Structure 1
């Protein structure tokens, strides 16, 4: 397989889509990886497997409609395998296997059959000290945008997934790119004050537009850099509640086709007014785990 990912929005040809099959029981509060899942476990509203399967199949149908080759993880019994973006990501012709939370290592094994189709020289496993998840990594032409957290209390946050060592390693892998890192706001307990990944508070769409939430960024000048780069007129600024609902976590099939959650009325109207075709799907149950469409897809090939 010849991988090719230069940015977030070129025409998609092949993708890994996670699976909700045999997702396992509702986790215990102490086993939750993020504050939103924890909130729903405590409230008794954690999503049901059957509902999540239906939501993911709706996405699969949209991808098939656009002639995208869809790979799915091998199903591991009673195991959460929804968020395919966490465990690996592609930049140019290389697939980088993420060093993720130890409890989730079996997820990598379930997609091994895909990355074994890639030339061995293009399969990258970063050094052990590099922590990274694909939701924090966004190739954008000459840039690679990376969400990180570099506070001394990094180890206190289960929501801090990508460290400075990973940022430096990715810069070394792609010396011809400009790696731009962004410090993200983290909370283990309040989902409205937690940007779990960069794609939970920011995402480029189309050729020159972006969705963004200011409070997701710890350093205002870093947020402002993105606003200046894309231009204020090209920015869709989302509220704290919209970030909580995962408005920035849509998924681009091409520069003019976006898969979005059906309840994102304000965003979907703006997208259509700006010339996008919006493929609406139900994804509100999966959103309860603090991830949405970008989190559950991992592109392999774009034109």
Structure 2
């Protein structure tokens, strides 16, 4: 189990399921859920309910999007694993908090040969690691890789997440021994960044915090690394600019509206092949002009929930 960078050849990956039982009321979240503007009405219709019960046709399309992504990756020779679904016991235990099993990028992640279970800030996502646990025990526990998890966060009233630590995979970008970690206050927080820096330092990694505006959930909603020397970025979402090691890279810039619709959230299969939504043909053409082969998929339903291809995948092996 090893991830050398965001764009090292993808060998083994976990592709998300499509489960969402919404919290009973908005106040439980503590923050506004980061969804596309077009999804606000949809979200308001599902408080306390299962998304698939309210929108069965969209649920089928959502599931199909993930299957189409899995099939595309298999055609490129990638081993695809899937988390299980929530059990009835788990769904009952979630209660009015709700539960989500839709973006496997966030509850755990891999840096080098370190597989790390994080802690998610939104209450309805706190159990999201559980459907992946069998995969982790099967693949990671017998391997030479390190396998650790963050300390359990404090118990706090619903709507008040407490001090954490919170650390989410969507905020973590890997570039060799450089690790960039976003922090907007909505997901990863300072305590989570400090924990990761302390853990990884003895292994030779440098952790660089990247401030994000408070409305941006994760770093991969602002930056996407395509290959060595090429990235996609939204300048409006990077108040401190790009991290120093990335400032000389060729960049494809996207605006706030494009970033909010997940233009930075594509997926490199290898340094020469990139998956992006059909919505972002302009970005795709800029990639193609730089010699990158672009694979287009329609991820419209997944994007309603504030994530796309990177959010929907979690690599266990990315290495030459």
Report the TM range for the smaller structure's normalisation: 0.7 to 0.9
Map Cα deviations across residues 18-73 of structure 1 (whole Å, 9 max, x no partner): 111x5447975556665443844543488721111111111011111012111111
> 2:178, 2:207 within 8 Å by CA — same for their partners in 1?
yes
Structure 1: 5+ residue stretches without partners: 155-159, 187-193
Aligned partner of 1:113 in structure 2 is 134
Shift of 1:88: 0.4
Aligned partner of 1:189 in structure 2 is none
Q: Take 2:303 and 2:24, find their aligned partners in 1: how far apart are those partners?
A: 16
Structure 2: 5+ residue stretches without partners: 46-54, 92-98, 153-163
Tell me, yes or no, if structure 1 residue 215 matches structure 2 residue 236: yes
Aligned partner of 1:12 in structure 2 is 10
Q: Take 1:87 and 1:165, find their aligned partners in 2: how far apart are those partners?
A: 16
> 2:23, 2:124 within 8 Å by CA — same for their partners in 1?
no
Of 258, 262, 267, the match for 1:246: 262
Aligned partner of 1:190 in structure 2 is none
Q: Take 2:173 and 2:80, find their aligned partners in 1: how far apart are those partners?
A: 20
Of 149, 169, 174, the match for 1:139: 174
- Superposed counterparts of 1:73-112, under 5 Å: 73-76=83-86, 79-101=99-121, 102-112=123-133
Number of residues of Structure 1 aligned to a counterpart in Structure 2: 279
Structure 2 residue matching 1:223: 3-state secondary structure: coil
Shift of 1:4: 0.7
Structure 1 residue matching 2:101: 3-state secondary structure: coil
Instruction: After superposing the two structures, state which structure 1 stretch, 117-126 or 278-287, moved more.
Output: 117-126
Aligned partner of 1:171 in structure 2 is 197
> 1:85, 1:297 within 8 Å by CA — same for their partners in 2?
yes
Of 149, 166, 169, the match for 1:125: 149
> 2:2, 2:113 within 8 Å by CA — same for their partners in 1?
yes
> 1:29, 1:41 within 8 Å by CA — same for their partners in 2?
no
> 1:12, 1:302 within 8 Å by CA — same for their partners in 2?
yes
Aligned partner of 1:183 in structure 2 is 211
Aligned partner of 1:191 in structure 2 is none
For the aligned residue pairs, the C-alpha RMSD in angstroms reads: 2.3
State the TM-score, normalizing by the size of structure 2. 0.80
Map Cα deviations across residues 226-249 of structure 1 (whole Å, 9 max, x no partner): 66242xxx1001011111111000
Distance 1:279 1:27, change over 3 A: farther
